[in-house]
C-alpha cells in the first residue's frame, strides 16, 4: 500500500469527511477523494460508507484503521530517532491534552521544566473540560481521569491525587462550618454543571446525596474561583489549593477523595519521542502533586 494514500485514509477517518481531511493535509477535496478511490481499488473493498452526515468507516475500514495507525506511529518514531541528537534532546511539536484542572495547575510547571531541558521541543497544552479525542488527532498524548475502554489506546497510571471539601474563610464566618459530610445535602454547593459531567469519576457530589448545585461550571478553575469568591462549599483538588490561600479545608480526615490521572496514547508500536516525553511527564506530575499536596497538608484546616 502507498503511504500517501494511507495518510489520506487516516485524515478522512479522523475528519469524517473529505473537506476536513483535505484541509488538514493541504489538498483539495477532489484529490483526497481520488486517493481514497485509488486505495479502495488497490484493496478491492470499500473503506467508507458515505452519507449526508459524512464518511463513516466500513467494516473493512475499521479493520484497516489500526494497521494504518501502527504504520504512522512507526514512521513518526523513525523520524524522531533521526532527529534526536547525541545528547538525547527532544525536538519537534507535541500536543498534550488534559482536563482543565491538570492543565491549569500541574502542566505549566512540569512542561516549563521539560522545555528548559529540551529547547528544540515545542509543547502545546490543550485544556478541555471533556475527554480529548486522540483518534481525531486532537493531541498526541492525553491525560484522563479514567482509562479508555478501547484496545486502540494505551493507558498507563500517571499519578494518584486527592480532593477535599473547602470554603473561603469569609463564607465560613458568615454561614458557619457544616456539622459533617451528611450536611452537604442541604448546603450551598459549588460543582460541575450536572449534565456536563463527562466522566463518572468527576461526579463527586453524588456520593454525598447532593441534588442541587447552586453555583456550577464545567471548568475546575471557575469552580475554584467561585469558592474563593465566597459562593459556597466546593470539592477542590488539593493540588489547586496552593493557588487559593482564601480557602480552608474542612474535615480533611473524614472527607478526602482519591482519584487517578492516566496518560493515554495510541496502541501499537511506540513512538520513541512520545515514550520519552511520557516518562518525563509521569515523573514531573507525580513530583508536582506530591509537593503541592504536602504544602496544603501544612496549611489551615477545620477538623
- The answer to whether 96 and 111 have CB atoms below 8 angstroms apart is yes
**Model pLDDT for residues 278-298, shown as the tens digit of each residue:** 999 999 999 999 999 988 887
Inter-CA distances, 228 with 3, 43, 92, 221, 255, Å: 53, 60, 39, 11, 19
State the average pLDDT over residues 213-223: 95
Choose among 37, 16, 211: nearest CA to 203.
211
Mean pLDDT over each residue of the chain, to the nearest integer: 88
pTM, 2 dp: 0.70
Across 1-114, the runs of DSSP E, i.e. the strands, are: 48-51, 54-57, 92-98
Task: Give the model confidence (pLDDT) of 98-152 as tens digits.
Answer: 999 999 999 999 999 999 989 999 999 999 878 888 777 789 999 999 998 887 8
The residues, ordered by sequence, that sit 6+ positions from 152 with a Cβ below 8 Å of its Cβ are: 65, 66, 69, 135, 266, 267
For residues 176 and 117, give the distance between their C-alpha atoms in angstroms, rounded to a whole number: 48
Q: What is the pLDDT of residue 300?
A: 65
Q: Averaged over 180-189, what is the pLDDT?
A: 89
Compute the half-sphere exposure of residue 19: CA atoms within 13 Å on the CB side of its CA.
2
Contact (CB, 8 A) for 143 and 99: yes
| Percentage above 70 pLDDT, the chain | 93
CA distance 5 to 37: 9
Walk me through the domains of the chain, giving residue ranges and CATH numbers.
3-83 (1.10.10.10), 92-303 (3.40.190.290)
pLDDT band at 226 (very low <50, low <70, confident <90, very high): very high
Average pLDDT estimate for 80-92 = 62
What are phi and psi for residue 198, nearest 5 degrees?
A: -95, 0
CA distance 226 to 8: 46
Rounded CA-CA distance 191/175 in Å is: 18
CA angle at 108 for the pair 107 and 113, rounded to the nearest 5°? 95
31 or 257, which is more confident: 257
- The residue with cell 467561585 is 226
User: Is 58 a residue whose pLDDT tops 70?
Assistant: yes
3-state secondary structure of 126: strand
Q: What is the mean pLDDT of residues 154-167?
A: 94
pLDDT at 249 > cutoff 50: yes
Q: What number of other Cβ atoms are within 10 A of residue 253's Cβ?
A: 8
pLDDT band of 190, cuts 50, 70, 90: very high
Q: Residue 86: its pLDDT value, please?
A: 39
Band of pLDDT at residue 272, cut at 50, 70 and 90: confident
Q: What mean pLDDT do residues 38-42 have?
A: 87
pLDDT of residue 85: 45
Amino acid at each position: 500500500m502507498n503511504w500517501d494514500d494511507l495518510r489520506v485514509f487516516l485524515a478522512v477517518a479522523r475528519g469524517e469527511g473529505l473537506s476536513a481531511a483535505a484541509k488538514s493535509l493541504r489538498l483539495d477535496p477532489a484529490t483526497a477523494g481520488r486517493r481514497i478511490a485509488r486505495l479502495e481499488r488497490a484493496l478491492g473493498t470499500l473503506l467508507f460508507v458515505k452519507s449526508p452526515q459524512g464518511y463513516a468507516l466500513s467494516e473493512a475500514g475499521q479493520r484497516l484503521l489500526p494497521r494504518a495507525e501502527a504504520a504512522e506511529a512507526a514512521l513518526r518514531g523513525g523520524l524522531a530517532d533521526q532527529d534526536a541528537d547525541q545528547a538525547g534532546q527532544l525536538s519537534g511539536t507535541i500536543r498534550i491534552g488534559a482536563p482543565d484542572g491538570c492543565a491549569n495547575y500541574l502542566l505549566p510547571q512540569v512542561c516549563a521544566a521539560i522545555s528548559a531541558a529540551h529547547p528544540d521541543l515545542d509543547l502545546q497544552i490543550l485544556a478541555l473540560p471533556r475527554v480529548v479525542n486522540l483518534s481525531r488527532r486532537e493531541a498526541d498524548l492525553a491525560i484522563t481521569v479514567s482509562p479508555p475502554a478501547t484496545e486502540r489506546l494505551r493507558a498507563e497510571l500517571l499519578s494518584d491525587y486527592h480532593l477535599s471539601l473547602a470554603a473561603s474563610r469569609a463564607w465560613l464566618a458568615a454561614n458557619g462550618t457544616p456539622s459533617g459530610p451528611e450536611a452537604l445535602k442541604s448546603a450551598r454547593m459549588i460543582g460541575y454543571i450536572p449534565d456536563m459531567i463527562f466522566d463518572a469519576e468527576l461526579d463527586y457530589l453524588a456520593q454525598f446525596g447532593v441534588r442541587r448545585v447552586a453555583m456550577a461550571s464545567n471548568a475546575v478553575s471557575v469552580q475554584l474561583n467561585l469558592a474563593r469568591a465566597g459562593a459556597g462549599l466546593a470539592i477542590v483538588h488539593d493540588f489547586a489549593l496552593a493557588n487559593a490561600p482564601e480557602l480552608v479545608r474542612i474535615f480533611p480526615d473524614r472527607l478526602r477523595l482519591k482519584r487517578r490521572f492516566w496518560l493515554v496514547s495510541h496502541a501499537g508500536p511506540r513512538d520513541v519521542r512520545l515514550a520519552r516525553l511520557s516518562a518525563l511527564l509521569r515523573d514531573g506530575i507525580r513530583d508536582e502533586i506530591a509537593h503541592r499536596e504536602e504544602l496544603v497538608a501544612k496549611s489551615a484546616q477545620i477538623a
